[in-house]
Amino acid sequence: MRTGFNPNKDQLVPPSTYLHQVVVPVHIPYQTDYFKESLSILQFCLDSLTATVQPFTLITVVNNGSCEAVVQELNRRYREGTIHEIIHTTAIGKVNALIKGLVGHQTPLVTFTDADVLFQPGWQEETIDLFEKVERIGAVGLIPQMNLFRVDGFSLVWEHLFSSRLRFTKISDVKAAERFYDSIGWKRNYNPNHLLYNLQYTENGKSMWVGSGHVVTTFRRDVFRELKQSVSYKLGGDSERYMDLMPYYFHYHRVTTSSNYAYHMGNVYEPWMEVPTTVPKTKSRTQIQLAPPNPKISRFAYFWRYRFWRRIMMNTPLFFRWCILRKGLPKSVIDSW
């Protein structure tokens, strides 16, 4: 039985005061073995996030089937107000958790981050600055990585192959780059030259590395205007590539900040991990000025550019050598690249 008239009927949702959403999927099913120190790592992640963002940031945590200790920790932070939104689910997989956190909001920017990322001061300001000054950016990463231009940066290579805006330059913080590969369990037997040089793009006084990973990435929200209902994998498979490719369907570029603004901690605490000092909070920003959304490109255009030509230029030795030579990689390292 129902009596009366629901006062919310036909009422518009009021405009949000948030400009930037951060979505953190959390999957810690137990606190032994691989996940023994994961709760401590999660605490570092959330503490560093709240310390480095401005009040216009909406923090959404999606509990993706975690154990009771994690649930209690997240609920405590929600009650304190350091988490603005928390969604409890069964173990539905990382990308499905991201989709759950994404929908229902209208912030122009959304950051997807793993729960083991240590944010550094200035990451949000630099990310927004890149989006505002370089109109074709669709995604911005925070952790410079080797050779990203070969997979996740080909749109810039394609468009600026003959432009001086795109050049190989030396990586300024090699130790930070090494720390990332240590955190994912790599031995230091990779080509050391890959951590000395990277492909850099410059526009409107802003320099950035070409390509971006998926540990922590900020997207224009409009790249997700068409979303699947769900993906099949809990983690890995082709699930993360689904998110990685979204900017290309709308003719956007993927880049990474030229400085290291975050660290991937992994699942084991180390003494260097420290929560940064809280940045000064300001309410002066009331909007993020993005270029108008790009239309979706055709399937043929996507295949021609991002599949056919990328494969030829990046995977054919002769073409690849010519490409990196043209973009200024020193001849002394080309043969071993």
Q: Break the chain into its structural domains and give their ranges.
A: 20-270+291-334
Q: Which fold has domain 20-270+291-334?
A: Spore Coat Polysaccharide Biosynthesis Protein SpsA; Chain A (3.90.550)
Q: Which among 278, 236, 332, 326 is positioned nearest to 120, based on CA atoms?
A: 278
Q: What is the pLDDT of residues 92-137, one digit of tens each?
A: 988 889 999 998 899 999 999 999 999 999 999 999 999 999 989 9
Q: Which among 108, 133, 153, 166 is positioned nearest to 256, based on CA atoms?
A: 153
Which of the 8 DSSP states describes residue 296?
Answer: P
Q: What is the pLDDT of residues 174-224, one digit of tens each?
A: 999 899 999 998 999 999 899 899 999 999 999 999 999 889 999 999 999
What is the pTM (predicted TM-score) of this model? 0.92
| Phi then psi dihedrals of residue 295, to 5 deg | -75, 160
If you search the block for the tokens 């390509």, which residue do you land on? 211
